[in-house]
Amino acid sequence: MLYEALKNLRPNASFYVKGDSKVTWIDDVTPPTQAEIDAEIVRLQAEYDATQYQRNRQPEYPSLADLADALYWSNQGDNTKLDEYYAACAAVKAKYPKPEVN
């Protein structure tokens, strides 16, 4: 996450990270302070944690092939498969609810 934090803090800078913490700045840029880096890492981690529900949902959603099939049959006047598709999506959303933002 260090690389992402540095890229966010100095988007136009050239650098590379060796190992977990050795940063080499290639161009003449003022590196961020350790406090700035730590704060950005905390922010990125919070953002990642807040979207865990999305990563949990993804493998359990019905496939796009199922949606295409449901839309085809819906176009033929039979909404049964489309209703089932929506119900399956709603069940996944209920299983992994979006956290409330404070």
What local confidence, expressed as pLDDT, does residue 77 receive? 96
Given a cut of 80, whether residue 101 has pLDDT beyond it is: no
The predicted model gives 8-24 an average pLDDT of 91
What local confidence, expressed as pLDDT, does residue 71 receive? 97
Residue range 36-95, pLDDT digits in tens? 999 999 999 999 999 999 999 999 999 999 999 999 999 999 999 999 999 999 999 999
- For residue 39 the two structure tokens come to 């704060």
The pTM of the whole model exceeds 0.85: no
Ordered by start, the domain boundaries in the chain are 2-50, 56-95
Q: Which of 34, 36, 35, 28 is nearest to 9 (CA)?
A: 36
The rounded distance, in Å, linking the Cα atoms of 92 and 25 is 45
